[in-house]
Structure 1
């Protein structure tokens, strides 16, 4: 029996986030340039998105490009930006066909203008879709997001729209880039690394973490289903005891 058949569809995580890692190592293991790994990783993105839609996952967030990634060699960064643009343009019709809404979080203004324009166009064209929301974290940093949220609240205090005493978790969350997205119940990281790399720090307060040695270009929907099966075996207590839950 495959992992898909083991999934309890009544207890699916509503939101899954993925740290896609290992493209460069995958390419190097084959004696190829790193960019070849990024191109191959696009196939994994397509298959995992289709897998989420297939079983009914409502939200999928993919850590696509971090603010730290700007420190990579210029040639690699430029190639990645071109790959983003071409993939977005090629896949917009497929997103609509599968009723998938495209979303993006991060410091989008720091991206090349062509990328910003094509991303905005794809988001507009898919804005009415309701089956699944695919969020790309682009030029994203959780620390950046938290600082920006603090700045927004500071401005509201300075403009006397709210009092300092009124700041709480709820209105802080309202300033985050994920304001209309539920927190992820499951975060998957590929390539064997056991860290969260500045990703969704606030949102992951009670997220289940799943680490796999599989490099991202080799990750497919069956690996996704395996992670969900593992997730469903866990007891999520949120500070309570097992006896309280039962």
Structure 2
């Protein structure tokens, strides 16, 4: 198996499978492939068997079904693309090591890697952690690839070292890191700071990968330009919007 990650803000993972080699991914992630790579959709992918296992994986942000790619007779290519600006990262698992990834962060993996629901250690993290409530636990033996949004900032926490992060910007962390939620201090900060009420508190030891962009954050940034009177006002306030408005007036 040979892999390359190409591109910049919208990268693509290309995997060259040798004859008989397999790769498992969530459904809908395929970008392109060669004809000799076959697809098999199943509920038992990523180490989770049966209906209960598929439901647990779905609750973690995955799907009820997984797609298994196999190179038949000769080597073949399969490629996966990101859904938003960001990065694709490669990780090695083994020796009991596990990763906790945000609910849309798992891209694909080799056989031997398991994908499961990771319940939080504390009730507060589950109730107020936002996307952190439904983390994916990736474990087993092999290689997996994650998709994180925006720029990726790795941060190594020493034992007992703490960092507070906006919950949506926690991309991934090792299972040695504890995850909890803390409330922002001060009434003014809560009501007028526009930072939300809660922060994710990550405590070492272990590595965390922080992301600078999330799908809800991107949708929020684009919402003024997508339909309605607010979108029209925002568009007309820009040079492109003004030009379009002028063109429409001429047509009328």
Which TM bucket (shorter chain)?
under 0.3
Q: Relative to total residues, which structure has the larger strand share, 1 or 2?
A: 2
Larger Rg: 2
TM-score (norm. length: structure 2):
0.26
Q: Relative to total residues, which structure has the larger helix share, 1 or 2?
A: 1
TM-score (norm. length: structure 1):
0.27
